[in-house]
Amino acid sequence: MRPMLRSGRGFWLLAGLLGVPAAVGLAAWGIQLMRGLGVAGYTDRAFWAIYEANLVAFIGVSYGGALVSAILRLTGARWRAPITRIAEATALFSLLVGMSFAMIHLGRPERIWEMVTRPHLSSIVIWDFVAITTYLVATAIFLYLPLIPDLAITRARLALPASSWSARIYAALSRGWLGQPGQHRILERATNAMAVLIIPLAVSVHSVLSWAFSLTSRPGWHSSIFAPYFVVGALYSGVALVILVTAGFRRGYRLYAHIRDEHFVRLGYLLLVLVALYLYFTFSELLTEGYVMQRDAVELLTQLLGGQYAIPFWLFVVVGGIVPLLLVSLPQTRTVWGIVTASACAVFGMWLKRMLIVVPAATAPLISGAWGHYRFTWVATAVTLGAAAAIPLLLMVFFRFVPVLSIAEMEELAEGPPVALPPAAEPVWGGEMGAP
């Protein structure tokens, strides 16, 4: 709970460094609203580009955090306690940032309400909206439920005056938690139910998201493999981001006694399985499209393997695939820094892969033989970097008010019996949740 009590110079320095690109990104979006999507590099020959890649990438990494926590909870892994809170918070805030790109791409963002007031039910975009919104609600609940005991513990251990606004907020959010056995049973059943629900919800989100591409006749998108391809890619990049965020808070808040090297090794094994699986899907996709030798597919593969998109493609293969595979596979590099480096390569490589999914197909010629091209601009770059900076910034602010580690869960797994609060923690608002 030390980060909640005081913030050192390092906290404010890092918050400022992250706040600058986030503010510049907001300003760049404002310029885009005034001048149109042309300032972000969009043309009639490149109608989808960086914002759609960001949408898939940022929503994708949220799946990894949710799934890591859900699977570890359902399997009863005792080593999960120090990382579940970080994984769940990462899932929520990366999802919020990823969802924003759907609005950023709109030339008239105020018209997003028409998706609710006048939905076109035959459009896959509407079902994207429904799936992502449902997943957002489930992710928020999945984060909140394990927070209930910690909010009550926070109020008790910080000795907050009952009349203070912070004590009232903690009391309201903790829902009368007293640490009684009946409350523990109810909370455990609810959390496990959400863990079961979050897995198919996340699969549905990335499946529906992939269908926005594959349910078209454009070369490179019309593929039956896209749904599992997107799901595996989301898991791969999501687990990598969880490793990066966990390593950052471990170092920044000196949590070495709680988040140990073995946590990174176990997450590294999961990363190893996912990178091997994603490379297999990539090879399978290229093989099936190249073997048939359809004209449109051959032109697209030519551009990817040896044309204008060859450099980013092979950069993805090496940096996003082979390097993480080797770093985690070899015992000499299966260390904390090796796994963190592999995760950084995976996050960058998978963002590059999302660009390779979106841009080549969107710039492929349908009538003439001339290929279009997408030109990066400072506006699109600023918005992207600002969104990337917003995720750790939001996490830092969030963990300024709630414990970064799940205190109740760690104490319960370490000591056995549920943690009961002293009478001083009796809430100032709300009834007892499930009191026997």
pLDDT per position as a tens digit, 314-358 = 999 999 999 999 999 999 999 999 999 999 999 999 999 999 999
Residue 254 burial class via C-beta count within 10 angstroms: exposed 0-12, middle 13-18, buried 19 and up: exposed
Q: Is the pLDDT of residue 203 over 60?
A: yes
Higher pLDDT, 125 or 142: 142
200 Cβ partners below 8 Å, 6+ apart? none
Residue range 367-393: average pLDDT?
A: 89
The tokens describing 146, both together, are: 């394990």
The CA distance from 398 to 267, in Å, is 24
pLDDT beyond 90 at 92: yes
Q: How far is CA 397 from CA 15, 18, 382, in A?
A: 9, 12, 22
Q: What is the mean pLDDT of residues 77-86?
A: 85
State the chain's mean pLDDT as an integer: 86
For residue 310, what pLDDT is reported? 92
Rounded CA-CA distance 129/115 in Å is 8
Domains and CATH numbers, the chain: 2-425 (1.20.1630.10)
Return d(Cα 317, Cα 364) in angstroms, integer: 22
Query: What is the reported pLDDT for 414?
Result: 65
For residue 385, pLDDT over 90 is answered with: yes
Please count the CA atoms within 13 angstroms of the CA of 49 that sit on its side-chain side.
22
Rounded CA separation 301/360 (Å):
10
Distance between CA atoms of residues 331 and 326, nearest Å: 10
pLDDT tier, 202 (very low <50, low <70, confident <90, very high otherwise) = confident
Q: Which amino acid is at 253?
A: Y
Q: Six-digit token pair at 377?
A: 């601009």
Element (DSSP H or E) covering residue 191 = helix 181-214
Task: Annotate 352-372 with DSSP letters as a single string.
Answer: HHHHHHHHHHHHS-SSSS---
* pLDDT at residue 239 greater than cutoff 90: yes
Report DSSP letters for 319-343, one per residue.
Answer: IIIIHHHHHHHSTTT-SHHHHHHHH
d(CA 63, CA 407): 24
Q: If we measure between CA atoms, which residue out of 416, 362, 382 comes closest to residue 48?
A: 362
CB contact at 8 A, 179 and 152: yes
Token pair of 277 as six digits: 């699986």
Position 435 scores a pLDDT of 36
pLDDT band at 417 (very low <50, low <70, confident <90, very high): very low
Strand partners, 46: 43
N- to C-terminal Cα separation, the chain: 30
